[in-house]
Structure 1
Amino acid sequence: MADKTEIISSPSDIMLTVGETVSSPSDKASLPPSPLPTESYIISAFRNYLSSGCKEPVLLLESAGQESCCIFRVPESFVAMNPEAYKPKVVSIGPYHYGENHLKMIQQHKFRFLHLFLDKAKKNGVDELALLKAVMDLEEEIRKSYSEDLGESSEKLVYMMILDGCFILMLFLIVSRTIDLSEEKDPIFTIPWILSSIQSDLLLLENQVPFFVLQTLFVESKIGLSSDLNRMAFHFFKSSIDKQGSYWEKHRDFKAKHLLDLIRETFLPNIRSVGESETTSSPHVQLHEGNSGKVLSSDSTGVPLILSAKRLRLQGIKFRPRRSEEDSILDIILKKNRLQIPLLRFDGFISSFFLNCVAFEQFYTDSSNELTSYIVFMGCLLNDEEDVTFLRNDKLIIENHFGSNNEVSEFFKTISKDVVFEVHTSYLKDVFKGVNEYTKRWYNGLWAGFRHTHFESPWTCLSSFAVVFVILLTMLQSTVAILSFLNDKKGDGNAAPPPGP
């Protein structure tokens, strides 16, 4: 019975904080002892405590682990490393950043674009009520697309989806010339940094609306076919992603979760190699800390990350730029000891895109890890400033429009710091394996070091030949001198004796 009293005393402390107040220890001592709370009262108080916790906004819904949930709030551990990388600069899309003060400038223009869109729909015989009903039917599916409890009323959420969705569609329609607008008089298109910033903001993970909302508004307004939406989106972003039309055309029918997912899909390699490595003998994985991040390895010893570019060069790995506008920058190939890497034009837009793609792959339960694989791979190669200089100046694999070479190196090392990366499911698993196997052979490094020392440039090559020539000439002179000495000695032994007196 004494034990039961001790157990009951703890919940009573909780109930005191909820209902009772104690002014001071002396007041409490002067009061007559209160009876112990009954079990039913304790249970009732505990249930009230549980229900009070449920009244707080849910920051991670139970449905966040399902395929339908694809728009996430980036956690503070990611934001701390790149504070400005996940926040919109000029325009909010969706509920996460709605109403923020620094985004009000473009927020006012959304209503102007909405009127333009509705006028175009009316010319096709569609009024705003039809669009409103179409989006209202999607409300439950919209809520399931976000990882947080939105807490918005049905009316406000639907209005937000229509306003933001029509704004995005009008941008696409105007830039693709499907709708004629005097861009010379529109500040969104005449002020250079605004459109560029909007392009970047539309590819932030926290700044998305479900793609099916865009498709519904686009089709229901009778402005175009659903299949045309991808084409217009590609046209909108192609000024920031320098690729030919054939590169975009093969992704025209892709079904995306949102705009970030759509553009991410165009970066995926042409040939995917996703699955267990040939050397994997066990399905168990182990967390292994590497230079550039955390690697889920496929064996008990861990799969090592590759060396930096300058160290791989000394081990005999040759770097070659892969020149093809058809290829994604992720199409990295290893042939024998030649590592072929497509040109990376690195700037602020691509850096923001990479950060948000990695975040999406880390959180979306149905995503593959191609962008994460590429980032970890490049983080290994670009370990310091010298590695960036080597791949930029000597091999022409990187075009740096981002900052200093050291800033590029720090970016890749930072972005891959806290990601979880599974080598055995990476499309680059054979490249990691091949590079490590080649560098393990000691004679490859010995021969590569000799070539690097003596034949890396025309000057070292000439000096090496000069040294060899001098050595050979010295050997030849020594041989001639020895032969001459031997001949003289032999000649002295065969000479006739001098005549006697």
Structure 2
Amino acid sequence: MKSPISPPSSSVRRKTKAKTRIITSPRRETCGTSDPNATDWIIQVNESLEGMSSDEQQYWKKWSIYKVPSYVADLNPKAYQPQVVSFGPYHHGKEHLRPMEDHKRRVLFQFLRRSGKLLQHYIESLRKVAGDLEASYDALDPKWKEGSVDGAADQFLELMITDGYFMLQILRYATGKVKGEYEDNDPIFSKHGDLYVHPVIRRDMLLLENQLPMLVLDWLVAICYGVQKDESINSLILNFCSRSVDSVSKEKCLHVLDVFRKNMLKEPEKKDKAESQVSEEIIRSATELREHGIYLKKSDTNSLKNISFDSGVLRLPGIVVDEDTESMFLNLIAFERFHVGAGSEVTSYIFFMDDVIDKGQDVALLHTRGIIDNAMESDEAAAKLFNSLAMGVVLDPDSSLHDVINKVREYCRKRRHKWRANFIHTYFRNPWVILSLIAGVLLFGLTMVQTVYTVLGYNK
């Protein structure tokens, strides 16, 4: 496909030359050239602009699944690449992912056999939304698009059905809804698969480049089970992908990663938005905050938005840090970075935690407070993980965390809080110091009493 500003081909020139015969000479003089080819090119550009509709100018609004640019992916290429399974067209056909393709086809064959219908029947049913599915991908290879080559549209829809049904079966298996459909020694849908394969699939399912439009899952649920409820699909996704699910949002989501993200950001109550001044400095690390008299405490929910500071207590949501944490957060940050309107709450959380965590001792302190459950090889490794996640991220000027940062900084400026904290850390760190302090106070009191009695006896 040629760009509208590229030099026109000979066939295009013949078309435009027929039009130039009705162009008067004054218009050519206005163009500032007597070259007919240049005039034809200008006319072609004008016609292209006139024919461009508002929908074509804003087609990117339908994007929700993005190809991570090299300048981002090169920082940590493995974080954005699936390890065992591909969902969608971006990584389809890669050599190391082909073994799972056999399992996808096996699952699809069982579905078709139970339904008694051919695959073409479902392709024709899904064809009506093919354009919307294609438009969800910002960098879809032309070979998948309708009209590029014969059968390209069918190949794309077949991919959507195959990957979508396999994903749906994985999600349903996690809730025990596919018992009896597979053998006990099935490599995927069995205890063995649940132990060794599903954790990697879960990780791959949360990659930005490895998403399927939610429209596919909606359609499959409606076709296979006769219901179409967003909250039921969201529940399946969260049951498989999330460690803690207090409630399931009924909000319309774009794909699995979006469902997971919204669950991480849910909050129990809405707070009034108050104008907050953008902080000019970062806050201190966890150990430094403790030295300034700030007590770190786990929030009552695990929502990443549930960060607050009041009366010297900084509350942070609990989080499990393991080998999959880096990939998960990098893809959530990438989604917020490339999807307009997604928000920046996860990015803001990482920015804030990068300030709170500087070294391994900060992780150790947060662990003792129940805020971080560290499954990494060391506290230093967990600290480096958060520091690496924050590379290149910025805090949204409208983030509510600015208010928290300002309150913490104001509290740290007051010296009495630091003096009190030093007194407590110095004299109340262990029971022996406490006993020594008590003994010293008692001794001082007895000395004062003895002095008073001595003075009174002397006067008498």
TM exceeds 0.5? yes
What TM-score results when the alignment is normalised by the length of structure 2? 0.78
Q: State the secondary structure of the residue aligned to 1:462.
A: helix
**What is the letter of the counterpart of residue 421 of structure 2?**
A
Per-residue Cα deviation, 1:245-287 (whole angstroms, up to 9, x for no partner): xx14x32x2311000001111111315768975244xxxxxxx
Distance 1:93 1:267, change over 3 A: same
Secondary structure of the corresponding residue to residue 78 of structure 2: coil
Partner in structure 1 of residue 83 of structure 2: 89
Q: Select the residue among 420, 431, 434 that pairs with 1:458.
A: 431
2:350 pairs with 1:375:
yes
Match of 1:129 in 2: 120
- Equivalent residue of 1:214, what SS? helix
Q: Report the identity percentage.
A: 30
Q: Distance in 1 between matches of 2:305 and 2:358?
A: 19
Instruction: Check conservation: 2:264, 2:303, Cα contact below 8 A.
Output: yes
Work out the CA distance in 1 between the residues paired with 2:60 and 2:376.
Answer: 35
User: How many angstroms apart in 2 are the aligned matches of 1:358 and 1:273?
Assistant: 23
Q: Secondary structure at the match of 1:185?
A: coil
Matched, 1:143 2:116: no
**Pairing 1:425–2:398 present:** yes
Residue of structure 2 in register with 1:352 after alignment? 327
Distance in 1 between the 2:394 and 2:308 partners? 23
In structure 2, do the counterparts of structure 1 residues 236 and 118 end up closer, same or farther at CA, with 3 Å as the change threshold? farther
* Residue 111 (1) aligns with residue 100 (2): no
Equivalences for residues 435-450 of structure 1 within 5 A: 435-450=408-423
Aligned partner of 2:338 in structure 1 is 363
The 3 A distance-change label for structure 1 pair 279 and 330 is closer
Backbone CA RMSD of aligned residues: 3.1
Amino acid at match of 1:198: I
**CA contact 1:370–1:427 (8 Å) conserved in 2:** no
Tell me the residue number matched to 1:262: 259
Cα distance in 2, alignment partners of residues 229 and 269 from structure 1: 17
Counterpart in 2 of 1:207? 210
- Rounded to whole Å, the distance in 2 between the matches of 1:65 and 1:381 is 37
Tell me the CA shift for residue 200 of structure 1: 1.0
Is the Cα contact below 8 Å between 1:63 and 1:147 reproduced in 2? no
| Structure 1 residues 336 and 480, CA gap change in structure 2 (3 angstroms) | closer
Distance 2:34 2:448 in 1: 104
Whether the 8 Å CA contact 2:276–2:400 is kept in 1: the answer is no
Supply the AA of the counterpart residue of 2:257.
L
Partner SS for 1:320: strand
Question: Secondary structure of 1:96's match?
Answer: coil
Q: Which amino acid aligns with 2:35?
A: S
Aligned to 1:176: 175
Contact 2:333–2:347 (CA<8 Å) still a contact in 1? Answer: yes
Question: Which residue number corresponds to residue 303 of structure 1?
Answer: 280
Tell me if structure 2 keeps the 8 A contact 1:330–1:374. Answer: yes
Give CA-to-partner distance per residue, 1:19-74, whole Å, 9 cap, x none: xxxxxxxxxxxxxxxxxxx9738849999xx9xxxxxxxxxx975752x2111122
Q: Partners in 1 of 2:343 and 2:434 — Cα distance?
A: 47
The Cα of 1:97 is off from its aligned counterpart by 1.0
Return 5+ residue gaps in structure 1 as ranges.
1-37, 51-60, 281-297, 492-501
Contact 1:64 1:147 in 2 (8 A): no
Distance (whole Å) between structure 1 residues aligned to residue 437 and residue 36 of structure 2: 93
Give me the whole-angstrom Cα distance separating, in 2, the residues matched to 1:403 and 1:332.
Answer: 27
Q: Deviations over 1:417-449 (max 9, x none)?
A: 211321x42243432232222112222222222
TM-score by length of 1: 0.72
SS at match of 1:233: helix
Equivalent position amino acid for 1:231 in 2 = S
CA shift digits 1:263-314 (9 cap, x unpaired): 111111315768975244xxxxxxxxxxxxxxxxx4xxx5322211111111
**Offset of 1:415 from its aligned partner?**
0.8
What SS class does the counterpart of residue 74 from structure 2 fall into?
A: helix
Q: Quick one: structure 1 residues 223 and 185, their matched pair in 2 at CA, closer, same or farther if it must change by over 3 Å? A: farther
> Structure 2 vs 1, CA of residues 445 and 202 (structure 1 numbering), >3 Å: closer, same or farther?
same
Name the aligned partner's letter for residue 432 of structure 1. Answer: I
3-state DSSP of counterpart to 1:420: coil
- Aligned equivalents of 1:162, 1:359: Cα separation in 2: 26
Residues 305 and 380 of structure 1 are in contact (CA less than 8 Å); yes or no, is this contact kept in structure 2?
yes
CA deviation profile, 1:391-426 (whole Å, cap 9, x unmatched):
11x32221111231111111111111211321x422
- SS of 1:340's partner is strand
User: Does the CA-based 8 Å contact 2:84-2:204 persist in structure 1?
Assistant: yes
- State whether structure 2 residue 296 is matched by structure 1 residue 319: yes
Determine if contact 2:304/2:346 at 8 Å carries over to the other structure.
no
- Give per-residue Cα distances to partners, 1:427-481, cap 9 Å, x unaligned: 434322322221122222222222222223333333333444455566667x479
In structure 2, the partner of 1:40 is: 35
- Count residues in correspondence: 403
Give the distance between the partners of 1:260 and 1:107, measured in 2 at CA: 22
- 3-state SS of the aligned residue for 2:171? helix
Rounded to whole Å, the distance in 2 between the matches of 1:157 and 1:44 is 41
**Secondary structure in 2 matching 1:184:** coil
Partner of 1:390: 365
